[in-house]
Structure 1
Amino acid sequence: MTKKTQPKSGSEIFVPLNMLKKSPHNVRKTGHTAAEIEGLAASIAANGMLQNLVVEPERDGEGRETGHYFVTIGEGRRLAQLLRVKRRQIKKTDLIRCVLDTEHDAHEISLAENVIRLSMHPADEFDAFALLHNEKGMAADDIAARFGVTPAVVKQRLKLAAVSPALMALYREGGMSLEQVMAFTLTNDHARQQEVWQGLGWDKGADAIRRALTEGQVDADDRRARFVGPDAYLAAGGVITRDLFDDENGGYFADPGLLDRLVLSRLEQEAQAVRAEGWAWVMVTPEFDFRATSAMRRVYPSEPELSAKAQRRMEKQEAEYRELETVADNEPMTEAMKARVDRLEAEMEALRGQPVYGPADIAAGGAFVSLGYDGGVRVERGFIRKEDEAPAAQRREREPEPSEGREGSAALPERLVAQLTAQRTAALREAVASRPDIAFIAVVHAFVASTFYFGNRVSCLDVTVRTVYLSGHAAGIDESPQGRACSDRQAELAKLLPAEVEDLWDALLGFTQEQLMRLLAHCAALTFDAVVRPGSTSSPPLKHAEALSQAVSLDMAAHWQPTAANHLGRVTKAAIVEAVREGVSEEAAAQLADLKKPAMAEAAERLLADKGWLPQVLRLTQKASARMLAA
């Protein structure tokens, strides 16, 4: 018998798959991901094992070979082949081509194999995928299966390969980032891509590229786009442009006109349910504007009247709720107590029921259906127009007013009546002046009557309260967070008030000081007018507005940020540069100098974001700023 020849180090050998093991010297301590193994398995199935495994023989404690081999290089490929065994694509005894290495340190060559490797440039990968697709006719799904990636990844690579060759060459040379290349996939028009790149000036970031390519289009985050939704927009023939960053809900709606028509159509559908409630009229408008309601009286829903049994139940629950509140003020509440509070709140809410409008109010009144600030439907109900007031006034039967006073006055000369009532007015002034609490209620009464009950002059105080509508000066302001907060507060306060202005005085006499203060503050706030109109100059009212701003330490940076739409695009280039110089730095301002105005405004918007910069007209005076710092 001749002795079997031992293969030399560096020889190519074939080892059954089930005789290969993971090497204890492999430097990879973090295992391959399932996706990586899937990709290797797909590649091996399509193209075979392109690289040999590097192995060393396993030895027992006495140095004898066991017949197994440790895989020093190629553990991922070994695992991929095992996955193919599991899928019954090959057998576990199939021979795997390996290179035997017994001369080099296994740990070191494992490290070298993982560290010293050069990946192909991504652009080469894009082109290679495109060649398979365009010249060899392979579908994206087939390419994905061969390389163990998802079809979406293949489609992204193909989209990247379609970017202008001139821009791709710049990317290969390091003059452009992958993120910038990805931004250009919003369009397949090479001329447009190159035009945008050349016209961007100093700011050639991915966001700037997207803005330039989608100018005039509507972002998917716009409330109109969220309201209509991509499915309805696409079904109507609209086009959504997306880049490789966008998910299925992202992108840009390319046809703003179509989107606006779909908004109105959808609002009209939503209005059908409001009309079914029985309102005399329902108006559909893209945006709710309080100016349209300035000459209308508004009514609000009231809680339904409880039966005697329900009222007793409510009183019992309220008493228990107050007891639990008292306990909570003095000691921590147990979980059982917290659960009981939640149940009580739910039960009391169910007993109260949903507030309802009176049948007469519905018959005479109307509603507005518009697009809300958050992209939902906004419905404002309970507006009664002047021409509909007559039937609305008949909903309440009033008792005849006493006639004695009128008869007594009629029996006297008019000049004498004026003289006598002047005396009464003088006495009333002194009496009320000695009762600040009543004087306060009288002022609140005058304010509330004018603010909540349109067209009614019922106060004997000669106080004029006029709500100032701001939407004529700033479109969309009623849908801003501040505008919605104001309208929500008005609706909340209105629930406290009686339906008829004649009942208002008696109702206010029963209000707490806190309730009266809230009403007064709200009514007074609606009268503020600090708008500087074209051609106007500094005036006592504007100076008073400045003093009020100081008193409440108003910081407009918390409510407003400069954008191309609201400020930067509407001032001179010099003003834009000065804003960036003040808000950011001299260096940042210098970078804007050569840009055209639209690009300059957009770049300044990004630079000034969250910097707290304000134009001079929105800043507090130095005196006010010092007071805020001291506070």
Structure 2
Amino acid sequence: MTKTVQKITLSPSRDIPFNKLVLSQSNVRRVKAGVSIEQLAESIAQRTLLQSLNVRAVVDAEGTETGMFEVPAGGRRYRALELLVKQKRMSKTQAVPCVVREGGIAEDDSIAENDERIGLHPLDQFRAFLTLRDLGMSEEEIASRHFVTSAIVKQRLRLASVSTKLQEVYAEDGMTLEQLMAFSVNGDQARQEQVWDNVSRSGYDEPYQIRRMLTENAIRASDRRARFVGLAAYEQAGGPVLRDLFEDDGGGWLQDVALLDRLVAEKLKAAADAIAVEGWKWISVAVDFPFGHASGLLKLEGTPAALTVDQQTAVDALKAEQDRLETEYQDANELPDEVDQRLGEIETLLLSLEDQPMIFDSADIARAGVIISIDSEGRLVPDRGYVRPEDETLVVESDVADGGHPFDENKGSEPAHRTAITVAGMASEPAEEEDEREKPLPDRLITELTAHRTLALRDALAQHPSIAFLAVLHNFALATFYRFASSGSCLEISIRTPAFPAQAPGLKDSASAGAIDARHETWKARLPNDEKDLWNTLAALDGHAQSSLFAHCASFAINALHEPANRYNQGRVSAHGVASRLDQADVLARAVGLDMVQAGWRPTIDNYLGRITKSHILDAVREAKGEASAQLIDHLKKSDMAREAERLLDGTGWLPAPLRLAGAAPSLGQDGEASPLPEFLAEDEHDGPEKVQRHSVAAE
């Protein structure tokens, strides 16, 4: 037999004039919370009443209805309507939609209505706010109509930047609201999902950890670089900023690190240029330097600049105010906030006024430099007066009067020389002169030339056992008795064969390379395969064989390479160390009678002439063949000039400066009969008759 399900009957609803309603004492809500009565009244005025009142008929002692109705559930709505009536914004006879309850307990209805009400889920609120914005409402209008702050609306709308996949995880209680909000710091939704996959598996899913992972490639606004440049300048240059609307982000995160670094470098360079006018020999600039970066430098003692009259007046006034405040509150247990703040301001101002730049002698300025960096607060820190080891004995003659003035009176505000400025490890080359003759040889070319010389010197030393022994002994003595000297030696006793960072084509096919390889293979064949047998094999060699092997092994440690030295030990060697190394290489080269011409080097387009300026090419021809030969080719294009110079220099024994022994004079050419040019070069189709005639005369 089918059981009949009893159907429920809903309470009827009816419109009741407001003046027929009274607030019931059965309403369980006593504590004010949530939206205020005033805000609720404003909402009703904007939208009318969205939810009916729950009412019961008021009866007299006999149980007869009196025509009045009490409100046990919906008391706040009743109070809001009452306020609208008092404000004369609603008639007291306005019909109010009500649900009329019969039976049951009024207090039970009141509890149920309040307990069973569920607040809007934040995700639903976000989606609703997003819909309102899409319909044309501004964030301020949304905030005003829903009685929240604009910040709350911005925060909810910011959740739109979170991946829909993560929103669904949150909707299903797979993450907390705090975690969801943390993901909004970075709008890259693919990255958000990647981070969630990582943190959800690892368990390291705290909101701060999520934020850190999403901003790991950005720079905090509190970083010294960001403070130095300024957030406004960075944004004006088009730099994007990540902001966290849910936490205090300290100004956010700067996303374009490359742009920030460029702005920092430009501002540092501008500061260095301004200081360079003082006449310093060098300026090294970086965001920050490692601890002990100046330990190998001599620090000059300058004289603090005297305060100006205005500065001294300001200092006196600040100290007087400081003394007055300290005396006035000396017995107080705690300083008032405004007094404490003012004393802090006075202290800061005094420090800034008393921190005067140091004055140095002009001769010291000419040989010393400045280290410029940025402190943790983003302030520029120029540290003047450092002397490098190679400049410690430099004597600078100066016509400038005593007192530290670094300028040449005949040149206005221009320093007597150009300051070498290095920004973040990159040297800023002085402006190229119109006369390219002043331009030095490229560092890479010098390295290639000295690589060839190093190889030739190794071959030569291996053929002179007695000198090899002396060279090793010399190095041992340097390391033992002369502090820091071994760092500049051309012989590295560990037999660590230095690699050539740059080498010209054909170096491995040179005569020196061939001789070294042949000698090495000969010795390799004579020595045992097992290193355990090496001692006995060496002991069995006669004195001559031991000396020859000693020289061969020692030769592999030779390092006569030129290297561009980075500033402040950021590179492997210093400029002083490279210079010392090359000086000792010259001593060794003289001892073994090294001749780079006999070693097989000759100037070609590939290894030298095609890598230098036209003026250097002409200088080489002039030194080797004389002025007449130089005039033969001075009208040619560089490629043709280099090709013809190779022909003219062949067999002359001419060497560029990096391959000569120190102090050796170049072989000067004689102004005699010069070899004629090939016909295809003798007349350049772009040259006029006068120019061709001039060279014809010069060749006679």
**TM-score, with normalisation over the residues of structure 1?**
0.45
Report the structure, 1 or 2, having the larger helix content: 1
Structure 2 length normalisation: TM-score?
Answer: 0.41
